[in-house]
Amino acid sequence: MAAALFEKVPPRRATTDDLSSIAKIHRLAFFTAMPHMPVLHTPEEDLAFHATVVFPQCEVWLTEDADTVTGFIAFRGEWVEHLYVHPAHQSRGLGSQLLAVAQASADVLRAWTFQCNTAARRFYESRGFRAERETNGDDNEERQPDVLYVWRRAKIGN
């Protein structure tokens, strides 16, 4: 019952007061989904990254439950830069709510994810994203194979 009530609370625009929670969710969700990934940054560096890169360059939205941040999306233009939901709150539709915010603002969205992140791949594919390109990881910081997903808004009447 509580999950049903929560799902009615729409995502809201994040503020700098949310930075710490967002950085923690990013790290927790990332390493829960892919525990074998190299740890390249400290939690303090994660926070600085969100404060100096993500927030200034992206539109950031979040979901919350009783004033606790449960997930976030950061996007700019046609790019979903980050989409993470706290592991304890996954499979409740929060990622879909967040993605819908970005989809409402663009006719095309692109998102990179790691090839090994099968949950993220299923998530994007079940929401109409199509794999456009796979790489060996030479261009990402982790040096892990990744995949570029693309979503295009359906054109009505064509």
Give 27-80 pLDDT, tens digit per residue.
Answer: 999 999 999 999 999 999 999 999 999 999 999 999 999 889 999 999 999 999
pLDDT of residue 148: 98
The verdict on residue 21 lying in a domain is yes
Q: How many domains does the chain have?
A: 1
pLDDT of residue 9: 79
The verdict on residue 119 lying in a domain is yes
20: number of CA atoms within 13 Å, CB side?
A: 2
The verdict on residue 158 lying in a domain is no
The verdict on residue 108 lying in a domain is yes
Q: What is the CATH number of the domain that holds 62?
A: 3.40.630.30
The verdict on residue 47 lying in a domain is yes
The verdict on residue 116 lying in a domain is yes
Write out the two tokens for 88: 């304890």
Domain span at residue 81 reads 2-152
HEC assignment per residue over the chain: CHHHHHHCCCCEECCHHHHHHHHHHHHHHHHHHCCCCCCCCCHHHHHHHHHHHHHHHCEEEEEEECCEEEEEEEEECCEEEEEEECHHHCCCCHHHHHHHHHHHCCCEEEEEEECCCHHHHHHHHHCCCEEEEEECCCCCCCCCCEEEEEEECCCCCC
pLDDT digits (tens, 9 = 90+) for 79-127: 999 999 999 999 999 999 999 999 999 999 999 999 999 999 999 999 9
pLDDT digits (tens, 9 = 90+) for 137-150: 999 999 999 999 99
pLDDT of residue 8: 63
CB 98 within 8 A of CB 83: yes
5 confidence band (pLDDT: 50, 70, 90)? very low
pLDDT of residue 89: 95
pTM of the full structure: 0.91
Nearest to 114 by CA among 139, 96, 78: 139
The verdict on residue 38 lying in a domain is yes
The verdict on residue 157 lying in a domain is no
